[in-house]
Homo-oligomer: A and B are copies of this chain.
Amino acid sequence: MPLSTLLVIVLGGSAGALIFAVGLSRWVLARGTGTPEMRVISDAIQEGAEAYLRRQNKTIALLAVLVAAALAIGYGLLRQSMPGDPVSDRTMLAFYITLSFLLGALSSGVAGYMGMWVSIRTNIRVAAAATSSLNAALQTALRGGAVSGLFTVAMSLLGVGGLFAVLSTFAPAGMDPSVWVQKIPFVIVGYGFGASFVALFAQLGGGIYTKAADVGADLVGKVEAGIPEDDPRNPAVIADLVGDNVGDCAGRGADLFESIAAENIGAMILGVVLYQAFGVAGILFPLVVGAAGIMASIVGIMSVRTNETEDPMRALNRGFYLTTALVSVAIFFICKTLLVTPDAPGAWLYFFFCAMVGVATSVAFVFITQYYTEYRYRPVQTIADASKTGPATNIIMGISVGLESTVMPVITIAIALVSSFMLGRASGIMVDGEAAGGLFGTAVATMGMLGSAGYILAMDVFGPITDNAGGIVEMSQQPPEVREKTDRLDSVGNTTKALTKGYAIGSAALAAFLLFSAYLDEVRNYTGEVLHVDLSKPQVFVGGLLGAMLVFWFSSLAIRAVSAAAQSVITEVRRQFREKPGIMLGTDKPDYGACVDIVTKGALRAMVLPGALVVIFPVVVGVLFRQLGGPGERLGAEAVAAFLMVATITGILMAGFMNNGGGAWDNAKKFIETGAHGGKKSDAHKAAVVGDTVGDPFKDTAGPSLHVLIKLLSTITLVLAPLFI
């Protein structure tokens, strides 16, 4: 299939999805906006969220410009051209890399902003819809989430595909276009770096904001003042609701945006390796699968409907399975059409099976995450049970469950990685006389897993939307039957948020190898030698040790940032209660804005150090070890590779521990609130509230930020590889 046809499919598909998302957002915005009381609250949330995101984006933009300047100066002025450079003119190379970094950063920021923009407008419409029927509320919430999900996935495809399309028309003078298309993926790696750079700060800042507000509001409201969650007398309650939007929507949007961008670029680099076999079709294969996936997600989303009595999770699951089935069928035909080579006529079928391994992995992760975080199953119940003997045993058991929850996912990933590698290797694709399809097999599996990303992300944003809708219903004092509806959706939203995190870390783990390979290809491209990452060299081992340590250090800083920002919320709320006793009596209005302002400042201040650490540390390691090694030893490149790989392993485990542990604590509390072990207000419930609070920064700040950290390490080492050689 010629390049132009492939690009039309990719760009046409993603543009179509964007248009559909715009249409969907008009459908959502046309829903009713409920009572004036609801609108007051929704407006306050909207105002706070937009103000925060404006300030956060200003800070991130400043940091991004700094990095862009460093890239431009480093590549354009300081560094000598090297024979392996994809573009021989160093000014042009600096221009391409800096531009794609800035484009990636900008797109990631826009994806996050869009996610929030829609969700803060959908929440009130879900609240209003809940006054009529559950199905109306469910569809409004999911379609609101879908706007964000489709937008993110489509933007990512459009960005990478568009850059590829534009660059493909700019072959440097004297270079054959067929050679040039093999170099483009290396030129646009900056896009992935820019996207993950912004995503790290967005996820980290948003994560700190949301949990500082949540922990602060809970501790001073529920525990000290004894008022229920989302009570309008709590001055931090608006900040808490704002947090759901800036953390879960904007943060996760940027996270999945960069995942898709980075993983597509990594897979395209692996496609370059197989250029002899598949030509440009191998390079664009990941984007074509992505375009098909987004179409399947649209069908899946629009198919979801429920009735008043059904568990809404079942409806969402049906949509997921439909999406998965459609993606599988589409991949079958894509493999059969694109992955054809006369030398290995049966290879496409092997790669189709690789993709099925990826699809199966996504389903397995959905099941495993549900097992560890829903209260129907043993893990959450043991935590609830341990709450009977107080907060200490609740915490001990929660940590134990969180640690254990990494076992099944790791085994799943191990099987998926080894089997897709072996299937790919057995496909019969040879390069230079050696079986070469193994790594491409893991890339295809990743694409299979990411095929349903649009649907998954829609389900994810569904979570904060319903959470907010519940808050609006509670604060505007709607009748109990309305609250009962939003509570049911909110509980489903908790599950879908946990699922997305499981899915995100699973795809990050599966994709990890693809990004390592891209780095190794880049190093080989420069040195002409295959780089082995030999842990039995002490310096390389130390590189790995430092990588694992970075994950611990970063987690420590992220958790502490929440604690510090929460302290300032607590102090502020206490001050308001003290100075305006009328608040508790309902005669005086709390100053919501002051709390929003304090959390905003705290989150922005706190996100800089851990974020900078992740960017600077691998560079220091690489440059230092390059100095320590002899000439031609490539010790810098090798130590950085070990750093990256062991950090990825540790990051996968730590993120799984934190996400699932936090989710399990949350639902153990919810289980007790259903009446188990004495129900609300019992000692077991008090203990479970402690566990829930501890889990908050785990599951919504440190855990999700680790997903991005893993990929940021990959993209930063990929872009800066020439520094370490």
Interface set of A (CB-CB < 8 Å, partner B): 215, 219, 223, 386, 389-393, 395-397, 399-404, 406-407, 410-411, 413-414, 417-418, 421-422, 438-439, 442, 513, 516-517, 520, 531-536, 538-539, 541-542, 544-546, 548-549, 552-553, 555-557, 559-560, 562-563, 566-567, 570, 628, 641-642, 645-646, 649-650, 652-653, 657, 689-690, 693-694, 697
Q: Which residues of B contact A570 (CB under 8 A)?
A: 389
Q: Which residues of B contact A690 (CB under 8 A)?
A: 390-392, 395, 690
> Which single member of B534, B549, B553 contacts A532 (CB below 8 Å)?
B534
For the complex, give the distance between the alpha carbons of A399 and B552 in Å.
10
Residue with the highest number of chain B CB atoms closer than 10 Å, among A531, A553, A628, A694? A694
Report 22 cross-chain contacts, Cβ distance below 8 Å, ordered by A residue. A219-B389, A386-B567, A391-B392, A391-B690, A393-B563, A396-B559, A396-B694, A403-B556, A406-B549, A407-B553, A411-B546, A414-B546, A421-B538, A533-B534, A534-B535, A535-B544, A541-B645, A544-B645, A544-B646, A545-B652, A552-B657, A650-B650
| Complex contact B417–A552 (CB within 8 A) | no
| Complex contact B552–A403 (CB within 8 A) | yes
Known contacts A391-B392, A392-B690; 17 additional CB pairs below 8 A are A393-B563, A393-B566, A393-B567, A396-B562, A396-B694, A399-B556, A399-B559, A399-B694, A403-B559, A404-B560, A418-B628, A421-B538, A531-B536, A532-B534, A533-B536, A535-B641, A541-B645
Chain B: CB-nearest residue to A535:
B533
> Which single member of B389, B406, B542, B552 contacts A418 (CB below 8 Å)?
B542
Q: Which residues of B contact A628 (CB under 8 A)?
A: 418, 422
| Complex contact A697–B396 (CB within 8 A) | yes
| Complex contact A410–B533 (CB within 8 A) | no
Which secondary structure dominates chain A's binding surface?
A: helix
| Complex contact A389–B567 (CB within 8 A) | yes
> Which single member of B410, B536, B645 contacts A549 (CB below 8 Å)?
B410
| Complex contact A694–B395 (CB within 8 A) | yes
For the complex, give the distance between the alpha carbons of A532 and B537 in Å.
9
Chain B: CB-nearest residue to A441:
B538
| Complex contact A215–B559 (CB within 8 A) | no
Q: Which residues of B contact A559 (CB under 8 A)?
A: 396, 399-400, 403
For the complex, give the distance between the alpha carbons of A538 and B437 in Å.
13
For the complex, give the distance between the alpha carbons of A411 and B539 in Å.
13
State the Cβ distance, A568 to closest chain B Cβ, in Å.
11
| Complex contact A418–B545 (CB within 8 A) | no
Chain B: CB-nearest residue to A223:
B390
State the Cβ distance, A411 to closest chain B Cβ, in Å.
8
Chain B: CB-nearest residue to A403:
B556
| Complex contact A541–B417 (CB within 8 A) | yes
Chain B: CB-nearest residue to A530:
B536
State the Cβ distance, A544 to closest chain B Cβ, in Å.
6
Residue with the highest number of chain B CB atoms closer than 10 Å, among A386, A545, A645? A545
Q: Which 10 A-B pairs have the closest CB atoms?
A: A403-B556, A392-B693, A404-B556, A410-B549, A400-B560, A533-B535, A421-B538, A400-B559, A532-B534, A414-B542
Q: Which residues of B contact A386 (CB under 8 A)?
A: 563, 567
For the complex, give the distance between the alpha carbons of A639 and B291 in Å.
37
For the complex, give the distance between the alpha carbons of A478 and B505 in Å.
58
Q: Which residues of B contact A439 (CB under 8 A)?
A: 538
Q: Which residues of B contact A410 (CB under 8 A)?
A: 545-546, 549
Chain B: CB-nearest residue to A686:
B391
| Complex contact A215–B650 (CB within 8 A) | no
For the complex, give the distance between the alpha carbons of A563 and B398 in Å.
11
State the Cβ distance, A560 to closest chain B Cβ, in Å.
4
State the Cβ distance, A139 to closest chain B Cβ, in Å.
37
Chain B: CB-nearest residue to A652:
B545
